[in-house]
Amino acid sequence: MDRLSFLFSIGLVALLLLSTMGAALGHPVAELSMPAFFWHDGLFVEDEFLIEQYLPDMPPNIREEVKEDVKIITHVVVKGDTVKSIAKEYGIEENTIINNNNISNPNLIVVGQQLRFPSVDGLIHTVKRGDTIYGLAQTYGITIEDILEVNEVDPTVLTVGSTLILPNAKPVVAQRTVVSSRSGTTTAVASIPTFRNLLWPVNGVITSPYGWRRNPFNSAQTQFHRGLDIGASRGTPIFAATSGKVVHSGWLSGYGYTVILEHDNNYTLYAHASSLSVKKGQWVEKGQEIARVGATGNATGPHLHFEIRIGGNSSSKAVNPINYLQR
């Protein structure tokens, strides 16, 4: 054995002893690398040598856990498959498979059927026009961090038609509530489904969607836009998106002349109007004119700023209007 090979052997033994002692003391070396120099067929070789392959097997509980990428799984049902067995195979809840495939009866899946679901519990969401990370997090009761952790996406720009995984999200469940009618009677309705398919409040073009954007008054800053801006000519009629009671009709700080309608504990807001057609306390019907487009308050031009607030009359309750308006 030549001198170089001898020195290398001594060094390797020392590292192996160090690794074993470290493991015994509770500080295992999961993987060490060192330049290995040796002679082979008369040539001097330098290579990366992984010490891990020479270490004794470590118990799983002290090896570094490798986190697998979250992904969308497509499972083709084979004979003997059940929702329960498939869920167990992939380590997810049965409801994750059921919710993502609109399965009404878990006992009626058939051979050859394709089931699509995320590798973690949650929902697969196809991005629609107007969607934002903030809005999705608010709608499904999860955090922005939850979404960004498992999706490689620019949180300020979502591509319509792209797919997101919403970890721990569950389908929005209809809630039974009681609302008052003009006659004073009360009727039990499902608040969330009833609050879908709202009328577009003005004929125009979307000039600024819900979500993060550059501040129109300071391009060096970004701000979260809590509504939908629809550009239209000054004086264009603004209509009630759905029936409700007027709880505000007048000036509202940066919103300018504004109408707010109450629909049980949900609200719609119509801002920057040039004139108002209704008064506080008045009941209005869906499609009734309530104001006219203007540029009052903080506005760069004539448009309607439209908000939908779910569960309270506060800007913090604002959600993406696109998800509630007629398609």
pLDDT digits 0-9 by tens, 215-274: 888 878 888 899 999 999 999 999 999 999 999 999 999 999 999 999 988 999 999 999
Look at residue 313 and give its three-state secondary structure. Answer: coil
Separation in Å, CA 231 to CA 121, 157, 208, 260, 270: 40, 21, 9, 19, 13
> Distance between CA 88 and CA 179 in Å, rounded?
44
User: Residue 317 pLDDT > 60, yes or no?
Assistant: yes
What's the CATH fold of domain 72-167? Membrane-bound Lytic Murein Transglycosylase D; Chain A (3.10.350)
Delimiting residues of CATH 2.70.70.10 domain(s) in the chain: 176-323
Residue 10: predicted pLDDT: 62
Nearest Cα residue to 229 out of 304, 123, 129: 304
Predicted TM-score (pTM) of the model is 0.46
- Name the superfamily (CATH) of residues 176-323: Glucose Permease (Domain IIA) (2.70.70.10)
Least confident of 201-215, 267-281, 296-310: 201-215
Delimiting residues of CATH 3.10.350.10 domain(s) in the chain: 72-167
Residue 287: predicted pLDDT: 93
